[in-house]
Amino acid sequence: MVSTPKRARRPAHPLPIRLMHWTGVYAMACMILSGLVIYNASPLLPFSFPRWAGLGGWLGGALAWHLSAMWLLFADGAAYLIYGFMSGHFRRDLHPPTVPELALDIRDALKFRLAHRIGHYNAVQRLLYAGIVVVMIVAVLTGLSIWKPVQFGWLTGLFGGYPIARGIHLTMMLLIVAFIVLHVTLVVLYPRTLVSMVVNVAAEQDEAP
């Protein structure tokens, strides 16, 4: 009796995804830490961040770090979008969740019973990842509008002027930080996800229909 060969299991995260993920982590960390120094130069809220927590040392140095990291993040994000569409990653793994699917996963998450399989994205994850992409795009656009409010005057005006654009930019950065905190919390709960983002690990089998 001839045995049929098993179908090769796809990787949980292909190498390009892993490389772009860690490039984005580095770029975003540089932007957040340098952003603390920039924020301290003219705080919007009634508090400042400790100087040791920032990156760049002073306003000029922080701006240099911030802008350099911004272009790295922009290039990384553009590469991710191109790869996501051309490879079918978005269509296969990050397609929009249906309302019943999302409601079911939110219910399971609130009960701490949300299943997680390596290499698969549940409805909550797909919604969060789509949302954070939009947030990061708005963060980049508002960042450009407050960096060059004269050259990008039309963009600054689109956001309602410099003060409003600056407030939106800060809000987007706070949402990104909140996403990072949630993401790291889930990694702590499911440490296997960190391993799969570092080395080549096969995706877990699809659930039976």
Name the packing angle between helices 15-41 and 59-86 (round to 10°). Answer: 150
CB 58 within 8 A of CB 37: yes
Q: What is the mean pLDDT of each run of 10 residues along the chain (209 residues)?
A: 53 88 94 94 90 91 93 92 90 84 82 72 85 91 91 92 94 93 83 82 62
CB 73 within 8 A of CB 140: yes
pLDDT score, position 10: 76
What span, in angstroms and rounded, lies between the C-alpha atoms of 21 and 194?
11
Number of C-beta neighbours around residue 60 at 10 A: 10
What is the widest separation between alpha-carbon atoms in the chain? 76
**What is the pTM assigned to this prediction?**
0.82
